[in-house]
Structure 1
Amino acid sequence: MKNVKLISHYLHNDVYRKSFNQLSIDVFNLDFEPWYEAGFFNNRYIPHSFLLDGKIIANVSVSFLDLIINHQPKKAVQIGTVMTDKRFRNKGLSKLLMEHVIAEYEDQYDFLYLFANDKVLQFYPKFGFKRIAEKHYALDAKEVVNQVAKASILNPNRPNDRKIISRLMENRKPVSNMLGVVNDKWPLSASTLDPYCDYLERYFFADGDVLVLADREHGVLNIYDIISQHAINLDDIVEKMVSNQDNRIEFHFIPELIKYKVTTTTAFWEDDTLFVRSKYPFNVEVLFPLTSHT
């Protein structure tokens, strides 16, 4: 297309950023502006976009993630916010942006990955991405011995609570040494500090100085992430979190339990299929923490 310009690293530009954000609202009903204003991105989220007549018409974004996989540090790029203005679809713009991003980052990082919705599962294999089945981990809550423990529910709208959350996020330990994320102010802030994130509660245990992101629904305790500056004792956390109303505990990361045995099955997530492009075999058991999705 004529007069189309490729731009990136432009979130500081109000005009371009707001055009990007409007496209995100139009395509995904997702408003990035509050996250930008709150400083969540921390130069770890970079849109790569096509600009036409001052408007963003297509985009592929990258997020930089520091991972721990099988106890080893890895650096990865997560691709997301792949979108095109409906007036300019079927013109190969996403293809060009994907090729640009791969060329830009592949040699600098251990691997690239993304989570795809069900409508585009045939698109990403064209760029060398392989579909990988994540795992699902569950535990019979009735097997867990409950500890009496006091937790406070933190609210990021309260300044003191926000300080606690922000402090714990600094130099956090990975929730799992099998597959965890560190240095993840982005995207973790979208779950911890965004007051409109309502799919979880923020349980703070002062005695262990640990924050547990979790919720309960229909007898299931979902544990999404555990944020601590100390090594995590998951058995202890589970025993403090479980209640008589819980029938099952589901972990949205790879749990490392000593006392209790989880049931492992293959996960089938709707609109959240993992694809990985890696130069090396990706043979580890996989479940990316839910709070690391962008």
Structure 2
Amino acid sequence: MENIVINNRDYKLISHFKHNNELRNSFNLLTQQVFHFDFEKWYKSGYWEDNCLLYSLLDIDRIVSHITVNIIDFIVLGEKKRFIQLGTVMTDEHYRNKGLSRVLLEKVLTEWENKCDMIYLYANDSVLDFYPKFGFVPVDEYQASIKNSKIKSPYSVRKMDIDHVSDLNLLFEKAKEAVSLFKLSMQDNAGLIMFYCNYFDLYSLKENLFYIEDFQAIAVAEYVDDTLILYDILATQKIEIEDVIYTLATEQTKNVILRFMPINNENYEVSIFKEEDSTLMVMADKSELFKNNKLIFPMLSHT
């Protein structure tokens, strides 16, 4: 805990407090107020791992400003990298425009900039002018798509039900040991995947999980009219993405969109992907990585 004076008002900088019930409850309350969800069910599930760290400013006994530091390992173009993603950047509405977020962000950047290969975040489009003051620049992400021409796959697929403990454990096992299949693949972050698939109240993916026994792989996918959107593939051995598409496609499927970038994307149409009201921002010296290689962070790695 560190005492900090901002605009003649005393605050306390606190971090790594997820096991403190009072502070975690205050954090959840602010998250509900700003983003309309909280992390309590995820915490109680036991899947909140130690790579998700909390940094907050405390006014007496209440959290009024916050940044989460997510330590995420990726395989990027075949090389292992450690990235820091900043998330849940928020300030109580009564404390905004007082410099609290600036102080928090400066503290976090000072602590982590020399401990990782890149720091990045997804910025709400209403605050895009804030982050360039700290060296961040917006970059484009790219998605791959392909027309579907195959039906009647010889492989079997079943929809998972993670309300059953066997499927819940299967999901965690595959997420924990998933191998790299994309140009940019998240590694060993089962806790974050469990959050998205079962504990994110705003948009749970629990209805979008499919197990392909022939490949011993889980596909995270959604069917929207005649389009199959494939968000992620969790496999413990190398498999062909086209085989997964072939297995998931139905007679109605005409288009397939990937929210990750295949290592070999020659057969795909690659286009800029823009998430609604959100822009990827990275430190300026890392921007060429995305421009030159047409990358996208898999959706289940977002925080």
- Give matches, 1:136-215, under 5 Å: 136-142=143-149, 144=150, 146-176=152-182, 178-194=183-199, 197-198=204-205, 200-215=207-222
Partner of 1:286: 295
Deviations 1:120-145 (A, max 9, x none): 11111111011110012111113x45
Partner of 2:3: none
Is the 1:3–1:52 Cα contact (8 Å) retained in structure 2?
yes
Matching residue's letter, 1:223: L
Distance 2:21 2:184 in 1: 36
Partner of 1:98: 105
Deviations 1:85-119 (A, max 9, x none): 11111100001111111101010000000111111
Which of 17, 22, 29 is 2:24 aligned to?
17
Name the SS of the counterpart of 1:4 in structure 2.
strand
TM score, norm. by length of structure 1: 0.94
CA shift at 1:41, angstroms?
1.9
Is the 1:156–1:195 Cα contact (8 Å) retained in structure 2?
no
Is the 2:125–2:277 Cα contact (8 Å) retained in structure 1?
yes
Residue 261 of structure 2 is aligned to residue 254 of structure 1: yes
Matching residue's letter, 2:186: V
Residue 269 of structure 2 is aligned to residue 263 of structure 1: yes
Which of 46, 58, 65 is 1:51 aligned to?
58
Distance 1:29 1:195 in 2: 11
Is the 1:225–1:289 Cα contact (8 Å) retained in structure 2?
yes
Partner of 2:90: 83
- Unaligned 5+ segments in structure 1 are none
Is the 1:10–1:16 Cα contact (8 Å) retained in structure 2?
yes
Residue 10 of structure 2 is aligned to residue 3 of structure 1: yes
Name the SS of the counterpart of 2:296 in structure 1.
coil
Aligned length: 291
Matching residue's letter, 1:233: E
Percentage of identical aligned residues: 29
Name the SS of the counterpart of 1:203 in structure 2.
strand
- Tell me how large the CA RMSD over aligned residues is: 1.7
Deviations 1:21-48 (A, max 9, x none): 0000000101111111112221111111
Matching residue's letter, 1:246: T
